[in-house]
Amino acid sequence: MKTKADVKAKAEVKAKAELKAKPEVKAKPELKAKPEVIAKTVARPKSKARVVDSPFKNFIPYEPKRGEAYMDSKQLDHFRDILLKWRQELMEEVDRTVHHMQDEAANFPDPADRATQEEEFSIELRTRDRERRLIKKIDQTVERIDKEDYGYCDTCGVEIGLRRLEARPTATQCVDCKTLDEIKERQLHG
């Protein structure tokens, strides 16, 4: 049963969490001003990733308190937040691609120019398709967070871990099971 004090304590924790979240909010307008920079960051190859190997950098790595239960409500909120921000970035990216294609669409008299543009567009369409699939996966993940069915390996049930989930918030398997599956996959098709 929840007492009044519990509710109050929870509210305070939430308020503190919100305070902590402020720096990232401040950083956002700066990012928004340079859409091409974001695009490059998203496309950055793994080798150049610094602190966290993650497609998005605008979050503070979660530091659990001593004795804090894995995937308690604060941790779930943290990952929901990351996923929703990532989703927003992807949506903006899709919009940019569409607008870019609309702006660039031109009838080049030279067949070579036309071919180049068609090639460019088909690459952009594939990127958009990939982004849409990713958005769908993010939505499914957020649904699982809402059902508090998040953060454990679908195959073996072990905790996936905060750091791995911050790098791959849509991960449904621990590193070991994922690696094993990839090896099996290669053997099957290799």
Nearest distance from residue 165's CB to Zn ion, in Å?
13
Q: Give CA–CA dist 128/101, Å, rounded.
A: 11
At position 158, the amino acid (one-letter code) is V
Binding mask 162-181 for Zn ion (x = CB under 5 A): ------------x--x----
- The answer to whether 64 and 75 are in contact (CB under 8 A) is yes
- What is the DSSP-derived secondary structure letter of residue 46? G
Task: Say how far apart CA 54 and CA 145 lie, in whole Å.
Answer: 19
DSSP H/E element including 164: helix 162-167
The residue (of 84 and 177) whose beta carbon lies closer to Zn ion is: 177
Min separation Cβ 149 and Zn ion, Å: 15
Q: By CB under 5 A, is residue 160 in contact with Zn ion?
A: no
CA distance 60 to 183: 33
**Residue whose CB is less far from Zn ion, 87 or 178:** 178
41 touches Zn ion (CB under 5 A): no
Among 62, 155, 170, 180, binds Zn ion (CB under 5 A): 155
Nearer to Zn ion, 90 or 160 (CB): 160
Residues forming the site for Zn ion (CB under 5 A): 153, 155-156, 174, 177
